[in-house]
Amino acid sequence: MRNTTARSRTRRARPSKTRAVHTIVLCTAILVLSLLLAVGMELLHRGSLPETWAWISLHPQLFALNGLLAMLVLLLLYAICGAVSGAVALSAVILSLVALISYFKRKLIGEPFFPWDIFLNKESMNILPLVTSREAIMQLSLSGLSAVLLFLLGTRLPKVRVRIPVRIVMGLLCVFALYSFGVRASWTNTLINKAGVNEIVWNQSENYAENGLAVAFTMNVKNTIVKRPPGYTEPAMKGLAESLSETFGYRQAKAVTATTGSGVGNSSKQPNVIFIMNEAFWDPTLLPGVTFDQDPLPTVHRLQKESTSGYLLSPQFGGGTSNVEFEVLSGQSMSFLPAGSVPYQQYISRPLPSLASYFKEQGYAATAIHSYEGWFWNRESVYRYMGFDHFISKDGFEQPEYRGAFISDDEVSRKIINEVEKNDDPTFIYAVTMQNHGPYDDRRYGDQEIQVKGMQTDTARDTLATYAQGVRDADRSLQMLIDHFQQSDEPTMIVFYGDHLPMLGYDYDVYAQAGFISTGRSDQWSLEELKKMQSVPFVTWSNFNLPKETVPTISNSFLGAYMLDRLGMELPPIWAYQLGLAQKAPGLLRNLVVTSDGALHSEMPPAIQEDAEVYKELQYDELFGEQYVAQFLNSHSPGGQQPAMAAEAEQDPDPPAQ
C-alpha cells in the first residue's frame, strides 16, 4: 500500500516538474526571440550589419530596452492567439514591416517612420512606386522568410497551456506597459533614464539612430498630441492680443490698386494674385561639377535678375508637400509641431485664417487648384476650412494633357488663365502642380531634351536629366502665364516657387555625387549643408511696377505676410507680428535658425527666444486653443465680425470628416 501511494506521488510530481521545465524553456526562448526581433528591426532599419552591431556594442542597455518593447509586442500577440509559433511569426511580420517602412522612408526623404504615419490612409499608396525596386523586393522576401523560420522554430518549443483568464491579464498588462512607454509614465521614465535614452526631438533621424527604432518610435507616440504652452491662459492671451492691437492696430486692409505698365492699357484696380507651388521645383544648375547643354531655367534665371526673388527655407525634403502649403497659406510654422506630423491630416478640423480667407475679406474670389486627387492630404476638407471658394482637383480638368504619369504643368497654367478670365472680381489663386513628382529614374519623357555631363554613374545621370526636363517644362509653363498676362489689362502678380528639393536617388545620391553635399548621411551634414538642402528658389513677376528686392532666406511661414507687405496690403496684427519676427530670424526650421545677419544656428538663439515663444503661443491658440486672440481682435475690429468664410465653415451642416 505504501509503495502504491509513493508511485502515485511520483507520477503527480513528474508532470509538475516537466511543466516547470517547459515553462522555463519557453520563457527563455521568448527572451531570446525578443532580442532577435530587436536585432532584426535594427538591421532592416539601418540597412547595415556592421552599423547594427556597432550600435548594439556601444549601447547594450538601449538595445535591451528595444528588446523589452519587442517582447511586449510578442507577449501581447501570444495573449491574443494563444500559440507561441503564431505570435512569433506575427511579431516578425509586424516589426519587420515597421522597420522596412522606416528604412525606405529614410532613404527616400530623410525621415524615419512615425506613429502618425499609420493614419495617412491612401496617401501611403503614393510611395509604392518608389519601393518596388529589386532591393525592396529582396528585403521583403527575406523578412517573409524570417517570419516563416521563426514560426517553424516556435512549433518546436514546448507547449505550455495558458488559461484564458491568464492570457487576458497578460494582454492587458502588455497594453498598459506599451501605453506607459508611449506617454512616458513615471515608472517608464526610470527605465528610460537608466538605459541612457537621449531623446532628440529636433532631429528625428539622429533620434532613431541613437536610441533604436522601437524606443524612438514609441517615444514619439506622445508627440501626436501638441502640448499646451506653459504660459497659455485666457488672461495671458487676451493681454497679448491687446498688445498686438496697440502695436499694430487692427489693420483692415485698404483697397490695393495697381496700374498696369504693359502698354496694353492702364487701369487702377486690385491686382490678381497667383501663387504657384511647383512640385519639387529646384535649380539643378546649383550642382557643382555638373553641366547642362542648355539652360533648363531661362525664365526663372531672368526673373532672378529683374524681379523680387530669393530662397525659401522649406520644412520638407523630397515629400510632404502639404506641410509647405500649410506654412505658406496659414503663416504658421512646422517647427512648433511634432517632427514628421501632417497638419492637414492631424490638426485642421475647424476654420483656420489663411491667405484665402484674407483675400476673400478684400472682395477677391479665392480658388485652389491641384492637378491630382482631391482627397490627397485631405485637401478637400482643409481648403474649405481655410476659406477657399472653390477647389479644382484632377477631376476638374477636362481631357487634360499629361506629361509622364501626371497632368502637365502647361495644363495647370491654362487652368489658371481660365479661372482669372472668367471672374469679374479680382482673383486669388493657390495652384499646386504634379508633373515633376518623383521618382525620376523612369525616363518618363522619352528622349532627353537636356543632356547632362559630370555624374559618376549612368543611373544618376539619367535621373538628373529626367528631373531637369521636368523643371524645363515648369519654366515654360511660367513663361506661358507671363506671356498671357503681359497682354492683359488685368493687373496681376505671380509668385512661383518649389515646395522642396527633389529626391534624386537613395541616400541623396545625385547630390552627393555632384559634391553638393559631403555625404549621403543627413545626420552628418553641417548647418550650411542642411540650409542648402532645404532652400528652394522663388521668383515673382507682375505686369505693374513693384520695386525689386533680393531675399537671401525666408521661411515659407513668412512668405504670405512678406508678399502682402510687398503689395502694400496692411496686415492683420498676427501676421504683422510674424513679419516683424521674420526681420530678426528670416529662416526658422526645427533644427536650423537663420538670423538677420545670415548666421546659422542649430537652436533658437537667446536673443529671439522670447519673440519665437510668442509666435508659438499665437499658433497654439489659433490651431489648438480657444482662439482667445482672434476673439479679442474680432471684437475690436470694424463691425466686430468674423471673416466670412470662417463663419460659413462653422455653419456647415455637413463638415468633411477628418
Confidence (pLDDT) at 651: 41
Per-residue pLDDT, averaged over 202-227, amounts to 82
Asked which of 224, 255, 273 is the last residue of a domain, the reply is 224
Among 224, 258, 276, the domain boundary falls at 224
Q: What pLDDT is stored for residue 424 in this prediction?
A: 87
CA–CA gap between residue 52 and residue 212 (Å, rounded) = 10
Q: What does each C-alpha distance from 477 to 408, 483, 620 come to in angstroms?
A: 9, 10, 38
What CATH number does the domain containing 253 carry?
A: 3.40.720.10
* Conformation bin of residue 132: beta by default, left when phi > 0, alpha when psi is -120 to 50: alpha
Question: Which pLDDT does position 267 carry in this prediction?
Answer: 46
Burial of 381 from C-beta contacts in 10 A (0-12 / 13-18 / 19+): buried
Q: What percent of the chain has pLDDT over 90?
A: 51
648 sits in which H/E element: helix 644-650
Looking at the fold, whether 531 and 637 belong to one and the same domain comes out as yes
User: CB neighbours (10 Å) of residue 8?
Assistant: 10
pLDDT tens digits, 133-184: 565 666 666 666 666 666 666 566 666 677 788 889 989 999 999 999 888 8
Which has more confidence, 578 or 119? 578
Q: Are strands 427-432 and 268-269 parallel, antiparallel or unpaired?
A: unpaired
User: Does residue 204 sit in the same domain as residue 251?
Assistant: no
> Does residue 40 carry a pLDDT above 60?
yes
Residue 656 lies in a domain: no
In a domain, 403, yes or no: yes
What one-character DSSP code corresponds to residue 68?
A: H
- Do 296 and 240 share a structural domain? yes
Q: What is the mean pLDDT of residues 421-425?
A: 90
pLDDT for 261 equals 43
Return the axis-axis angle of helices 60-81 and 49-58, rounded to nearest 10°.
110
Which of 224, 253, 277 finishes a domain? 224
State the average pLDDT over residues 37-65.
Answer: 88
| pLDDT greater than 80 at residue 319 | yes
Residue 5, in any domain of the structure: no
User: Who contacts 443 (Cβ-Cβ below 8 Å, separation ≥6)?
Assistant: 462, 466
SS (H, E, C) 259-278: EECCCCCCCEECCEEEEEEE
**Total domains present in the chain:** 2
First vs last Cα of the chain: how many Å apart? 77
pLDDT category at 15 given cuts 50, 70, 90 is: low
pLDDT of 123: 47
Contacts 24+ apart (CB under 8 A), 148-154: 148/89, 150/33, 150/36, 150/88, 150/89, 150/92, 151/85, 151/86, 151/88, 151/89, 152/85, 153/33, 153/85, 153/88, 154/33, 154/83, 154/84, 154/85, 154/86, 154/87, 154/88, 154/89
Residue 6 lies inside a defined structural domain of this protein: no
> How much is the pLDDT for 574?
92
| Average pLDDT over all residues of the chain | 84
Same domain, yes or no: 215 and 246: no
User: Is the four-CA dihedral 406, 407, 410, 413 of positive or negative sign?
Assistant: negative
Is residue 1 in a domain?
no
Regarding whether 149 and 72 lie in a shared domain, the answer is: yes
Average pLDDT over residues 379-393: 95
Residue showing cell 515646395: 499
| Judgement on whether residues 477 and 574 belong to the same structural domain of the protein | yes
Quick: pLDDT tens for 473-511: 999 999 999 999 999 989 999 999 999 999 898 889 999
Q: Residue 211, Cβ neighbours under 10 Å: how many?
A: 25
SS3 553: strand
What is the DSSP pairing of strand 452-453 with strand 291-292?
antiparallel
Q: Are 494 and 174 in contact (CB under 8 A)?
A: no
Residues 212 and 272 in one domain: no
Short-list 265, 385, 323, 276, CA closest to 658: 385
Strands (E), 318-425: 365-370, 390-392, 402-403, 406-407
Co-location of 176 and 241 in the same domain? no
Q: Which of 85-89, 120-124, 581-585 has the lowest mean pLDDT?
A: 120-124
The whole-angstrom distance between residue 25's C-alpha and the CA centroid of its chain comes to 46
| Residues across the chain | 658
Q: Are residues 175 and 114 in the same domain?
A: yes
Q: Is the pLDDT of residue 657 over 50?
A: no
Whether residue 9 lies inside any domain: the answer is no
Residue 583 is assigned to a structural domain of this protein: yes
User: Does residue 311 share a domain with residue 220?
Assistant: no
Q: Which domain holds residue 429?
A: 234-650
Give the mean model confidence (pLDDT) for residues 512-531. 91
658 lies in a domain? no
| Greatest C-alpha distance within the chain | 123
CB 68: neighbour CB atoms within 10 A?
A: 19
Q: What are the pLDDT digits (tens) for 426-471?
A: 999 999 999 999 888 888 888 778 899 988 899 999 999 999 999 9
